[in-house]
Amino acid sequence: MNENNSGLNILKEISAKKEEHEFYEAEVKGYIPGKTKFIIIMGTVMSGLGKGIVSSSIGKLLQINGYTVTPIKLEGYLNVDSGTLNPYRHGEVYVLDDGMECDMDLGTYERLLDTTLTGKNFTTNGQIYSSILQLERKGGFLGRDVQYIPHVTGEVKRRLRKLAMDSKADIVLIEVGGTVGDLENSVYIEALRELEYEEGKENVCNVALTFILEPKFLGEQKSKAGQLGLRSLMAMGIHPDVVACRCHNLVTEKVREKISIFSNVPMDRVISVHDVDSIYKIPALMKKANLDQEILSLLKLKPKTDFYLQQKELEKIEYYIKAIDNPKKEITIGITGKYTNIRDSYASIAKALEHSGAATNTKINIKWIETTEIEDGKLDIVDALKDENGNLIKGIIVPGGFGKRGVEGKIACVRFARENNIPYLGLCYGFQMAIIEFGRNVCKLEDAHTTEVSPNCKNPVVDILPEQKKIEGLGGNMRLGGRNIDVKENTITSKLYELDNDAVKNSIKQSKTQVRERFRHRFEFNPEYLEQFEKQGIVFSGKAPQHPIMQILELPEHKFFVGVQYHPEFTSKMLFPNPLFLGFVKACIE
């Protein structure tokens, strides 16, 4: 099917006649069918297999081939965004520069593709249905009963084409969250089936991620669950062009043959995506399977870059991998929190530490510390802060969070780090915990606390500022997304940001005295206590431009004691670790 007789042009011809028909297309002015290619990534069998990793790895290989790519994640839930989701249910809430609270896969895309995404790269059913209903109330569907097909599927396709137009990308990567069996994904799957019909087969590539079971009691790999998952996908009109097989070990040729026969996908496009110790090894794994060239061939494309340039880019990834695989040092860092049973709750922090570990040739072991156990007296703090060899850990991170559970345990960890000169990095809530600990134990402020936990405390050193109190709604009064920060010269923090000469590439450094980082919080340091804290030795080295809102604190006499009101983990990249994390890791090594 060529561009002139693609499904989309046929629909346009029918629409131009102004006759009654069953076709509906949400208009995207200026959109040219065939100019943008689409790669669709769907999961079968179960969720959590790593669709985001597979999708971003494919995108990385396409970048190496000279193509511009942009991803979009389609989520089935009815929430408008991920902001109110509990990390236990859906992992980390990732924040984009424009303030969109979204799925953690967007973080994988930004880190691996070295890009900055926006809210256009994330869609939920809640967003889709809200748009449809708003348009219906304005009379946008006069004379028609609004239905899933064609109106809801039309809105899904409109967003995909609008993203293609706005991003000017050569290829759009479309990841559908969850699995093919999820009822809430049925509209997305139907919309993507229609997309292939309208755009033409040469413009759409379907990638199915399936799971190969490997029960220990059998001692062999089983493909039946994967086959049944693929059958469900094909029954809904999506025929995979590529099948990526997730498994604990390298998928055997016998299993690949079974999947190939069952799905009508050639063996060259049935690849093993088995467990590795770093997601950054996946692109190399796919390159070895020649997957990028297979996909380009399906989309009738040729590499834009020559072999030499491709190798040069691959060598950057290989250099990073070698640094991980052959560390010269090894340290243990503790992350204190209340979601430590779910590692995905702190995925970006773990990745930021990995980036800094690779930059310093250091293997970083993470000890997850459940602060509720310290708070309840079930765990002695000294024992909690020891590594597996019985030595004190080399550094402590108190991550972001909300609510009162585990707060006193976190404050106890902050105090231990400060009094024992252990490197400390406080992130968002960790900044506030450091304020409370310092207020209580150094400034001697009785009942110093945050009004989030103790609304009637005597000394509200952390509070909602007056301008925020006027805003109603749980998410409305949040400080969200990328904000500029004025950094005081000749401070620890100003020197840390100078550590990374390539910070400009990372979109962090704005000027000599200003950086840009991402926020997600509601409570601030109460400026009424500013003078008392500074008299006792705290330096507030970063603040909001033109406002007395403190964003960074540090203790100059400490080995490393820095708290920030933002989330530097969101701006850390594979080859460009965030300067705060890099400085923290270096202090831990020393």
> Angle at Cα 287 formed by Cα 285 and Cα 288, nearest 5°?
65
SS3 percent helix, strand, coil of the chain, rounded to 5, is 45, 20, 35
The pair of structure tokens assigned to 294 is: 């297979």
Phi, psi of 85, rounded to the nearest 5 degrees: -80, 135
The CA distance from 116 to 113, in Å, is 9
Nearest to 44 by CA among 290, 232, 256, 257: 232
Q: Which residues pair with 20 in a beta bridge?
A: none
Q: Which residues pair with 398 in a beta bridge?
A: 426
Residue listed under structure tokens 């081939």 = 65
Active site residue 428: yes
Active site residue 521: no
Which is it for the CA torsion 503, 426, 530, 465, positive or negative? positive
Residue pair 70/118 in contact by the 8 Å Cβ criterion: no
Nearest to 8 by CA among 134, 154, 125: 154
The CA distance from 522 to 464, in Å, is 7
Residue pair 179/44 in contact by the 8 Å Cβ criterion: yes
DSSP 200: -
Burial category of 383 from C-beta neighbours within 10 Å (exposed 0-12, middle 13-18, buried 19 and up): exposed
Choosing from 75, 155, 190, 569, the catalytic residue is 569
Pairing status of strand 514-521 against strand 479-487: antiparallel
Residue pair 84/31 in contact by the 8 Å Cβ criterion: no
The pair of structure tokens assigned to 167 is: 């991003």
421-441 burial, b at 16+ Cβ within 10 Å, e below that, comes to ebbbbbbbbbbbbbbbbbbbe
> Angle at Cα 82 formed by Cα 81 and Cα 85, nearest 5°?
135
The pair of structure tokens assigned to 111 is: 């880190």
Choosing from 205, 428, 457, 588, the catalytic residue is 428
Distance of CA 443 to the CA centre of its chain: 38
DSSP 105-162: HHHHHHHHHT----GGGEEEHHHHHHHHHHHHHTTTTTTS---IIIIIHHHHHHHHHH
Residue 310 has a CB neighbour count (10 Å cut-off) of 17
Residue pair 564/479 in contact by the 8 Å Cβ criterion: no
Q: Which residues are catalytic?
A: 428, 567, 569
